[in-house]
Amino acid sequence: MKSVLLTAGQVVFTLALYVVGAMVLGLALFPAAMLFASTWDQTAAWPQWQHVLALCMAGAAGYFVFGFSLIAVVSILRIALGLQLKEGTYAMFSWGAIRWMLTNALQLIVWTFFGQFILLTPFAALLYRLMGAKLGTNVQINSSYCADLSLLEIGDGAVIGGHATVIAHAFERKGLVLKRVKIGKQVVVGLNAVILPGVEIGDRAIIAAGAVVPKFTKIEPGTIYVSREHEVHRPEVKSA
């Protein structure tokens, strides 16, 4: 009986997430739809090829209007609902766990519909900040696989490589565990690297492509990290 109730609860919660997603997408689509409708009205009397061309241009522009509107809607909703993640251990379906699900669901909507157009642009860093991450200056982000952004700190000049995964959560027997991830200044996280919760990476360290950094690992500044068993320490260069 307990498993049936749990499954029913999961279904209800999933449907609720779909409703929230539909509302978010609808609000974000509204400005783009207004642009398209206005273009239709203003060009209705034009020759057919001009009318169609204008509608095509409005549709293409509308996609980017939708994308930036989506970022704005998601960010406002996150702040309005108080979806700032906090370190700790949470039972499933506790408010802490639900808050975690909601904030990552909102982020996923943006990455799914518009994410590839903002990677390696200032707008990726803007999204991270709006979702609660603490970023320094000149941070370059080329991955949409980072989650739990309000528990993420990235220092000045750091680079997050393509498809790198950075998460601040883990599921254990005791429940959902949230622990802050700190990435120092001028750190390079390589292609497909995986950074797990509780990791602290010192300034100027390099995480090799494909490396997996286990939970709660502390990497010293200037280290080239390949794996826990194979760490290469780069000597500090001192000026004369």
Distance in Å from the first CA to the final CA of the chain: 73
Give the model's pLDDT for residue 237. 46
pLDDT: is 44 or 227 the higher one? 44
Radius of gyration, alpha carbons of the chain: 22
The sign of the CA dihedral 11, 13, 17, 19 is positive
pLDDT digits (tens, 9 = 90+) for 12-67: 888 988 999 999 999 999 999 999 999 999 999 999 999 999 999 999 999 999 99
Between β-strands 181-183 and 200-201, what pairing exists: parallel, antiparallel or unpaired?
Answer: parallel
- Higher-confidence residue of 92 and 234: namely 92
The model's pTM is 0.88
Computed from CA positions of residues 108, 114, 118, 120, in that sequence, does the dihedral angle turn out positive or negative? positive
pLDDT of res. 8 = 77
User: Does position 208 have pLDDT exceeding 80, yes or no?
Assistant: yes
- 131-161, pLDDT tens digit by residue? 999 999 999 999 999 999 999 999 999 999 9
Residue 125 near residue 135, CB atoms below 8 Å: yes
Residue 5 pLDDT class (50, 70, 90 cuts): low
Domains of the chain with bracketed CATH: 119-240 (2.160.10.10)
The rounded distance, in Å, linking the Cα atoms of 141 and 19 is: 30
Check: CB of residue 177 under 8 Å from CB of residue 158.
Answer: no
Residue 129 pLDDT exceeds 50: yes
Q: What mean pLDDT value characterizes the chain?
A: 92
Please count the residues of the chain: 240
- Mean pLDDT score, 111-124: 95
The alpha carbon of residue 162 and the mean position of all alpha carbons in its chain are separated, in whole angstroms, by 13
Predicted local distance difference test score (pLDDT) of residue 40: 97
Across 183-206, average pLDDT: 97
CA distance 80 to 74: 10
